[in-house]
């Protein structure tokens, strides 16, 4: 899966964390566990992530999840409920709100837009 969001920086540890988040896309997020895995304090992780990407690890992960969901909506006929689980959410309603915040479309509207344009 090629989800290259915010790759233009020189912090090697942040790049490793980005790659880890892509691989663990659907796994529950815990900042403390993530920091520990990379031998950083939570504060240092947050500081380095913000310096490199102008974002927090959780917001970055949410963007990755939304991008992956968009691709699945564009390229598959999977039900939205299945896509929600695949990208790491359990609650369809919460995901729908987040999806709208990022794309200004509901998942169904997004899929319909791309279906009408012959993308699926």
Task: Check whether 1 has a pLDDT greater than 70.
Answer: no
Structure tokens belonging to residue 108? 């169904």
Query: Three-state DSSP class for 100?
Result: helix
CA distance 4 to 90: 24
Asked if the model's pLDDT at residue 119 lies above 80, the reply is no
Identify the pLDDT of residue 120: 47
Backbone angles phi, psi at 46, to 5 degrees: -60, -45
What pLDDT score was predicted for residue 60? 95
Which residue did the predictor score with more confidence, 40 or 114? 40
Concatenate the DSSP letters of all residues of 8-34 into one string.
-S--HHHHHHHHHHHHTTTSPP-HHHH
Residue 4: predicted pLDDT: 57
User: CA separation (Å) from 16 to 6, 10, 12, 13, 56?
Assistant: 13, 11, 6, 5, 15
* Residue 20 banded pLDDT, cuts 50, 70, 90: very high
- Contact present, 21 and 57 (Cβ < 8 Å): yes
């Amino acid at each position: 899966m090629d989800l290259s969001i915010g790759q233009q920086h020189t912090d090697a540890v942040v790049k490793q964390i980005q790659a880890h988040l892509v691989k663990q896309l659907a796994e529950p997020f815990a900042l403390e566990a993530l920091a520990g895995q990379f031998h950083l304090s939570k504060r240092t992780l947050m500081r380095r992530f913000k310096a490199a990407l102008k974002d927090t690890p959780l917001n970055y992960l949410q963007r990755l999840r939304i991008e992956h969901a968009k691709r699945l909506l564009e390229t598959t006929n999977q039900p939205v409920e299945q896509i929600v689980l695949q990208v790491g959410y359990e609650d369809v309603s919460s995901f729908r709100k987040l999806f709208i915040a990022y794309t200004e479309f509901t998942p169904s509207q997004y899929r319909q837009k791309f279906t009408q344009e012959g993308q699926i």
